[in-house]
Amino acid sequence: MIVTLIVLCEVAFWVLLAAGLALRYLARKPGMGAAVLLCEPLLEVVLLVVTAVDLKNGAQPDWKHGLAAVYIGFTVGLGHSTISWVDARVAHRFAGGPPPVKPPKYGRARAVHEWRVAARWTVAAVTALALLQAAVWYVGGDGDVSSLRSWQQTMLFVLGLNLVIALSYTLFPKREPAGR
């Protein structure tokens, strides 16, 4: 049931995003479009509540509960930037907006960009880690929480990987070609 709900939340995310942007740019109703986009966080609240109720009703914590926490973490950390990314492209394509800004390719500007990306991933990972830890405490010592701990290790790996990538752009900045 949890995996089905995660899939439904993901589909609903994109449906709400498309509906909100269609209202904003095609129907020329930016207020209604914003209202639809503000419904996005409700999806995560529903997923969180259903996951907690499932655990409360005696379900053994497994990979599905961990996946729910990770999904919520990713939405918290990366949802806004995803919406902004899509919004810029839809505005350009359908509403005569300016072309989307491309990330810098070289030097310090690229390093700063990578640190911003790493910050978003850090928020995602820390949110997921906190939800996973809350689930571990919620289940208590009676249940097997090894799958939740495994997800925590995965999130620490994701966090570390993003920090290493950002650090690599800082220590070894890509230089602009000489002919430019």
Which residues in the chain land under pLDDT 50?
none
Alpha carbon distance 126, 152 (integer Å): 10
Let me know the angle formed at the C-alpha of 120 by 114 and 122, rounded to the nearest 5 degrees.
100
Long-range contact pairs involving 77-82 (C-beta distance under 8 Å, separation at least 24): 77/120, 77/121, 77/122, 77/123, 77/124, 77/125, 77/126, 77/127, 78/120, 78/121, 78/124, 79/13, 79/40, 81/120
pLDDT digits (tens, 9 = 90+) for 32-69: 999 999 999 999 999 999 998 888 888 888 899 999 99
Alpha carbon distance 151, 110 (integer Å): 30
φ/ψ of 145, rounded to 5, equals: -105, 20
Q: How are the residues of the chain apportioned to helix, strand and coil, as percentages rounded to the nearest 5? A: 80, 0, 20
Report pTM.
0.90
Q: What is the DSSP letter of 180?
A: -
Predicted local distance difference test score (pLDDT) of residue 117 = 97
Phi-psi region of 107 (alpha: psi -120 to 50; beta: other; left: phi over 0): left
Give me the amino acid identity at 166: A
Give me the amino acid identity at 165: I
Predicted local distance difference test score (pLDDT) of residue 177 = 85
Predicted local distance difference test score (pLDDT) of residue 59 = 84
Predicted local distance difference test score (pLDDT) of residue 180 = 64
Q: Among 81, 50, 42, which Cα is nearest to 68's?
A: 50
